[in-house]
Amino acid sequence: MCGICGCESSTHDHADDGHAAAESMQQESTPTKLIDVETRIQAKNDAYAAQVRSRLAATGTWACNLLSSPGAGKTSLLVETIKALQGSAPLFVIEGDQQTDNDAERIRQTGTPAVQINTGKGCHLDAHSILHQLDHPALAEPGLLFIENVGNLICPAAFDLGEQARVCIISVTEGDDKPLKYPDAVLGSDLLIISKTDLAPYVDFDIGRCVSNARKINPKINALALSAKNGEGMQAWIDWIKTSHHQYQQTGTMLSA
Protein backbone atom coordinates (compact mmCIF):
# COMPACT_ATOMS: atom_id res chain seq x y z
CA MET A 1 0.00 0.00 0.00
CA CYS A 2 1.00 3.58 -0.42
CA GLY A 3 1.84 4.15 3.23
CA ILE A 4 4.10 1.12 3.14
CA CYS A 5 5.74 1.41 -0.29
CA GLY A 6 6.15 5.19 -0.07
CA CYS A 7 4.76 5.90 -3.54
CA GLU A 8 3.52 9.39 -4.34
CA SER A 9 1.52 11.18 -7.02
CA SER A 10 1.85 14.69 -8.41
CA THR A 11 -1.64 14.78 -9.95
CA HIS A 12 -3.88 14.99 -6.88
CA ASP A 13 -3.84 15.46 -3.15
CA HIS A 14 -2.79 11.86 -2.55
CA ALA A 15 0.73 13.23 -3.03
CA ASP A 16 0.28 15.06 0.24
CA ASP A 17 -0.87 11.82 1.84
CA GLY A 18 2.21 10.02 0.48
CA HIS A 19 4.63 12.65 1.76
CA ALA A 20 2.89 12.73 5.13
CA ALA A 21 2.95 8.95 5.38
CA ALA A 22 6.64 8.83 4.49
CA GLU A 23 7.46 11.46 7.11
CA SER A 24 5.31 9.67 9.66
CA MET A 25 7.07 6.38 9.01
CA GLN A 26 10.44 7.97 9.55
CA GLN A 27 9.21 9.20 12.93
CA GLU A 28 7.00 6.24 13.82
CA SER A 29 8.92 3.01 13.40
CA THR A 30 6.83 0.58 15.47
CA PRO A 31 4.43 -1.81 13.67
CA THR A 32 1.43 -0.40 15.56
CA LYS A 33 2.16 3.16 14.44
CA LEU A 34 2.74 2.02 10.85
CA ILE A 35 -0.70 0.42 10.87
CA ASP A 36 -2.16 3.67 12.23
CA VAL A 37 -0.67 5.63 9.31
CA GLU A 38 -1.97 3.08 6.83
CA THR A 39 -5.42 3.17 8.41
CA ARG A 40 -5.63 6.96 8.15
CA ILE A 41 -4.77 6.84 4.44
CA GLN A 42 -7.38 4.15 3.79
CA ALA A 43 -10.07 5.99 5.73
CA LYS A 44 -9.57 9.11 3.62
CA ASN A 45 -9.66 7.09 0.40
CA ASP A 46 -12.81 5.24 1.49
CA ALA A 47 -14.58 8.54 2.10
CA TYR A 48 -13.76 9.64 -1.45
CA ALA A 49 -14.83 6.22 -2.78
CA ALA A 50 -18.23 6.68 -1.14
CA GLN A 51 -18.57 10.01 -2.97
CA VAL A 52 -17.64 8.38 -6.28
CA ARG A 53 -20.16 5.59 -5.71
CA SER A 54 -22.88 8.10 -4.90
CA ARG A 55 -22.11 10.20 -7.99
CA LEU A 56 -22.16 7.13 -10.24
CA ALA A 57 -25.44 5.95 -8.75
CA ALA A 58 -26.99 9.35 -9.42
CA THR A 59 -26.38 8.95 -13.16
CA GLY A 60 -26.81 5.17 -13.29
CA THR A 61 -23.23 4.64 -14.43
CA TRP A 62 -21.66 1.21 -13.91
CA ALA A 63 -17.91 1.34 -13.26
CA CYS A 64 -15.41 -1.49 -13.68
CA ASN A 65 -11.89 -1.36 -12.22
CA LEU A 66 -9.35 -3.42 -14.19
CA LEU A 67 -6.25 -4.66 -12.33
CA SER A 68 -3.28 -6.51 -13.77
CA SER A 69 0.49 -6.66 -13.98
CA PRO A 70 2.15 -4.57 -16.72
CA GLY A 71 1.71 -6.14 -20.13
CA ALA A 72 -1.20 -8.43 -19.28
CA GLY A 73 -3.25 -6.92 -22.09
CA LYS A 74 -5.65 -4.52 -20.34
CA THR A 75 -5.62 -1.88 -23.06
CA SER A 76 -5.93 -4.37 -25.92
CA LEU A 77 -8.83 -5.99 -24.12
CA LEU A 78 -10.48 -2.61 -23.59
CA VAL A 79 -10.14 -1.69 -27.27
CA GLU A 80 -11.85 -4.90 -28.38
CA THR A 81 -14.45 -4.57 -25.61
CA ILE A 82 -15.34 -1.07 -26.76
CA LYS A 83 -15.71 -2.25 -30.34
CA ALA A 84 -18.14 -4.95 -29.20
CA LEU A 85 -20.16 -2.61 -26.96
CA GLN A 86 -20.33 0.50 -29.13
CA GLY A 87 -23.92 1.56 -29.68
CA SER A 88 -25.27 -0.42 -26.71
CA ALA A 89 -24.53 2.26 -24.08
CA PRO A 90 -22.39 5.39 -23.61
CA LEU A 91 -18.79 4.38 -22.88
CA PHE A 92 -16.01 6.20 -21.04
CA VAL A 93 -12.50 5.18 -20.01
CA ILE A 94 -10.11 6.43 -17.33
CA GLU A 95 -6.52 5.37 -17.92
CA GLY A 96 -3.93 5.17 -15.15
CA ASP A 97 -0.20 5.16 -15.90
CA GLN A 98 2.91 6.63 -14.37
CA GLN A 99 3.73 8.51 -17.59
CA THR A 100 2.51 9.08 -21.20
CA ASP A 101 -0.99 9.10 -22.64
CA ASN A 102 -0.30 6.20 -25.02
CA ASP A 103 -3.11 4.00 -23.73
CA ALA A 104 -5.67 6.81 -23.59
CA GLU A 105 -4.82 7.67 -27.21
CA ARG A 106 -5.43 4.06 -28.25
CA ILE A 107 -8.85 4.24 -26.63
CA ARG A 108 -9.67 7.58 -28.27
CA GLN A 109 -8.94 6.09 -31.67
CA THR A 110 -12.05 3.92 -31.20
CA GLY A 111 -14.14 7.09 -30.83
CA THR A 112 -14.65 6.59 -27.10
CA PRO A 113 -13.80 9.43 -24.69
CA ALA A 114 -10.81 8.69 -22.48
CA VAL A 115 -8.84 10.66 -19.92
CA GLN A 116 -5.31 9.89 -18.78
CA ILE A 117 -4.27 10.13 -15.15
CA ASN A 118 -0.49 10.15 -14.78
CA THR A 119 0.53 9.17 -11.28
CA GLY A 120 4.21 10.10 -11.53
CA LYS A 121 5.92 7.96 -8.91
CA GLY A 122 2.57 6.62 -7.69
CA CYS A 123 1.82 2.94 -8.17
CA HIS A 124 -1.99 3.05 -8.21
CA LEU A 125 -5.08 5.16 -8.78
CA ASP A 126 -7.12 6.27 -5.79
CA ALA A 127 -10.72 7.38 -5.33
CA HIS A 128 -9.90 11.09 -5.18
CA SER A 129 -8.30 10.96 -8.64
CA ILE A 130 -11.44 9.26 -10.00
CA LEU A 131 -13.76 11.76 -8.33
CA HIS A 132 -12.13 14.59 -10.27
CA GLN A 133 -13.10 12.96 -13.59
CA LEU A 134 -16.82 12.54 -12.91
CA ASP A 135 -17.75 15.99 -14.23
CA HIS A 136 -16.85 14.90 -17.75
CA PRO A 137 -19.88 15.35 -20.08
CA ALA A 138 -19.59 11.71 -21.19
CA LEU A 139 -20.60 10.62 -17.68
CA ALA A 140 -23.77 12.72 -17.55
CA GLU A 141 -26.03 9.83 -18.61
CA PRO A 142 -26.25 6.12 -17.75
CA GLY A 143 -23.40 4.18 -19.27
CA LEU A 144 -20.28 2.12 -18.71
CA LEU A 145 -17.08 3.45 -17.16
CA PHE A 146 -13.92 1.37 -17.45
CA ILE A 147 -10.98 2.25 -15.21
CA GLU A 148 -7.64 0.84 -16.31
CA ASN A 149 -5.52 0.92 -13.18
CA VAL A 150 -1.75 1.29 -13.08
CA GLY A 151 -0.04 -2.00 -14.00
CA ASN A 152 0.54 -3.51 -10.57
CA LEU A 153 -1.17 -6.29 -8.60
CA ILE A 154 -0.20 -4.98 -5.15
CA CYS A 155 -1.15 -1.39 -4.33
CA PRO A 156 -4.17 -1.05 -6.66
CA ALA A 157 -5.80 -3.99 -4.90
CA ALA A 158 -5.91 -2.02 -1.65
CA PHE A 159 -7.76 1.06 -2.89
CA ASP A 160 -11.51 1.18 -3.42
CA LEU A 161 -12.24 3.49 -6.36
CA GLY A 162 -16.01 3.50 -5.91
CA GLU A 163 -16.41 0.93 -8.69
CA GLN A 164 -19.29 -1.51 -9.05
CA ALA A 165 -17.09 -4.34 -10.33
CA ARG A 166 -13.44 -5.26 -10.05
CA VAL A 167 -11.66 -7.50 -12.54
CA CYS A 168 -8.25 -9.11 -12.08
CA ILE A 169 -6.44 -9.98 -15.32
CA ILE A 170 -3.61 -12.52 -15.44
CA SER A 171 -2.01 -13.41 -18.77
CA VAL A 172 -0.79 -16.88 -19.67
CA THR A 173 2.73 -15.48 -19.95
CA GLU A 174 2.87 -14.75 -16.23
CA GLY A 175 2.57 -18.13 -14.50
CA ASP A 176 -0.45 -19.95 -13.10
CA ASP A 177 0.67 -19.38 -9.51
CA LYS A 178 0.05 -15.61 -9.72
CA PRO A 179 -3.18 -15.74 -7.64
CA LEU A 180 -1.22 -17.26 -4.75
CA LYS A 181 1.55 -14.68 -5.06
CA TYR A 182 -0.85 -11.71 -5.17
CA PRO A 183 -3.86 -12.86 -3.13
CA ASP A 184 -5.27 -9.41 -2.34
CA ALA A 185 -5.89 -8.69 -6.03
CA VAL A 186 -7.88 -11.91 -6.33
CA LEU A 187 -9.66 -11.64 -3.00
CA GLY A 188 -11.16 -8.26 -3.86
CA SER A 189 -12.17 -9.11 -7.44
CA ASP A 190 -15.50 -10.23 -8.87
CA LEU A 191 -13.98 -11.77 -11.99
CA LEU A 192 -10.67 -13.35 -12.97
CA ILE A 193 -9.74 -13.03 -16.63
CA ILE A 194 -6.97 -15.22 -17.98
CA SER A 195 -5.77 -13.31 -21.03
CA LYS A 196 -3.65 -13.99 -24.12
CA THR A 197 -4.89 -17.57 -24.47
CA ASP A 198 -3.66 -17.50 -28.07
CA LEU A 199 -0.16 -17.83 -26.55
CA ALA A 200 -1.09 -20.77 -24.31
CA PRO A 201 0.42 -23.44 -26.62
CA TYR A 202 3.81 -21.73 -26.37
CA VAL A 203 4.11 -21.25 -22.59
CA ASP A 204 3.99 -23.40 -19.50
CA PHE A 205 0.65 -22.26 -18.08
CA ASP A 206 -2.21 -24.40 -16.77
CA ILE A 207 -5.47 -22.46 -17.00
CA GLY A 208 -7.33 -24.90 -14.74
CA ARG A 209 -4.61 -24.67 -12.10
CA CYS A 210 -4.68 -20.87 -12.22
CA VAL A 211 -8.45 -20.82 -11.66
CA SER A 212 -8.09 -23.39 -8.87
CA ASN A 213 -5.41 -21.27 -7.21
CA ALA A 214 -7.64 -18.20 -7.47
CA ARG A 215 -10.54 -20.04 -5.83
CA LYS A 216 -8.31 -21.04 -2.92
CA ILE A 217 -8.17 -17.30 -2.22
CA ASN A 218 -11.68 -16.32 -3.33
CA PRO A 219 -14.00 -19.35 -3.67
CA LYS A 220 -16.76 -17.25 -5.26
CA ILE A 221 -14.72 -15.59 -8.00
CA ASN A 222 -15.95 -15.98 -11.57
CA ALA A 223 -13.33 -16.89 -14.17
CA LEU A 224 -13.01 -16.47 -17.94
CA ALA A 225 -10.22 -17.32 -20.37
CA LEU A 226 -9.96 -15.19 -23.50
CA SER A 227 -7.82 -13.74 -26.24
CA ALA A 228 -8.39 -10.17 -27.37
CA LYS A 229 -6.29 -11.00 -30.44
CA ASN A 230 -8.25 -13.92 -31.89
CA GLY A 231 -11.57 -13.31 -30.12
CA GLU A 232 -11.64 -16.57 -28.17
CA GLY A 233 -13.80 -16.14 -25.06
CA MET A 234 -14.62 -12.50 -25.81
CA GLN A 235 -18.37 -13.08 -26.06
CA ALA A 236 -18.43 -14.53 -22.54
CA TRP A 237 -16.70 -11.36 -21.28
CA ILE A 238 -19.15 -9.10 -23.10
CA ASP A 239 -22.06 -11.13 -21.71
CA TRP A 240 -20.64 -10.78 -18.19
CA ILE A 241 -20.43 -7.00 -18.58
CA LYS A 242 -23.99 -6.74 -19.88
CA THR A 243 -25.36 -8.98 -17.13
CA SER A 244 -23.48 -7.11 -14.42
CA HIS A 245 -24.57 -3.75 -15.83
CA HIS A 246 -28.20 -4.90 -16.07
CA GLN A 247 -28.20 -6.17 -12.48
CA TYR A 248 -26.74 -2.87 -11.30
CA GLN A 249 -29.46 -0.97 -13.15
CA GLN A 250 -32.16 -3.15 -11.64
CA THR A 251 -30.92 -3.54 -8.09
CA GLY A 252 -28.01 -1.16 -7.56
CA THR A 253 -25.79 -4.09 -6.58
CA MET A 254 -22.83 -5.85 -8.11
CA LEU A 255 -23.10 -9.11 -10.00
CA SER A 256 -22.99 -11.99 -7.54
CA ALA A 257 -20.65 -14.89 -8.13
Rounded-to-integer distance, Cα 20 and Cα 230, Å? 47
| Domain-embedded: residue 257 | no
Which strands sit side by side in the sheet containing 62-68, from one edge to the other?
114-118, 91-97, 144-148, 62-68, 165-171, 191-195, 222-225
Neighbours of 136 (CB within 10 A): 14
Rounded-to-integer distance, Cα 176 and Cα 223, Å? 13
Give 8-24 pLDDT, tens digit per residue: 544 444 434 443 443 44
Q: Does pLDDT of 176 surpass 60?
A: yes
Question: With contact defined as beta carbons under 8 Å apart, do 235 and 223 qualify?
Answer: no
Average pLDDT of the chain, as a whole number? 88
How sure is the predictor about 253, in pLDDT bands with cuts at 50, 70 and 90? low
CATH of the domain at 128: 3.40.50.300
How sure is the predictor about 6, in pLDDT bands with cuts at 50, 70 and 90? low
Name the helix (H) or strand (E) containing 59: helix 31-59
**Count of domains forming the chain:** 1
| Domain-embedded: residue 149 | yes
Share of the chain above pLDDT 90, in %: 78
Q: Which residues pair with 233 in a beta bridge?
A: none
Question: With contact defined as beta carbons under 8 Å apart, do 161 and 63 qualify?
Answer: yes
Least confident of 1-15, 94-108, 121-135, 238-252: 1-15
Q: Higher pLDDT residue, 136 or 257?
A: 136
Give 190-237 pLDDT, tens digit per residue: 999 999 999 999 999 999 999 999 999 999 999 999 999 999 999 999
The predicted pLDDT at position 126 comes to: 96
Domain that holds residue 210: 2-251
How sure is the predictor about 28, in pLDDT bands with cuts at 50, 70 and 90? very low
Contacts of 228 (CB under 8 A, 6+ apart): 73, 76, 77, 79, 80, 195, 196, 234
| Domain-embedded: residue 83 | yes
| Domain-embedded: residue 103 | yes
The predicted pLDDT at position 57 comes to: 95
| Domain-embedded: residue 208 | yes
How sure is the predictor about 40, in pLDDT bands with cuts at 50, 70 and 90? confident
Would you give the distance in Å from CA 163 to the centre of its chain? 9
The one-letter amino acid code at 91 reads: L
| Domain-embedded: residue 16 | yes
| Domain-embedded: residue 60 | yes
| Domain-embedded: residue 256 | no
The predicted pLDDT at position 114 comes to: 97
Q: Does pLDDT of 173 surpass 70?
A: yes
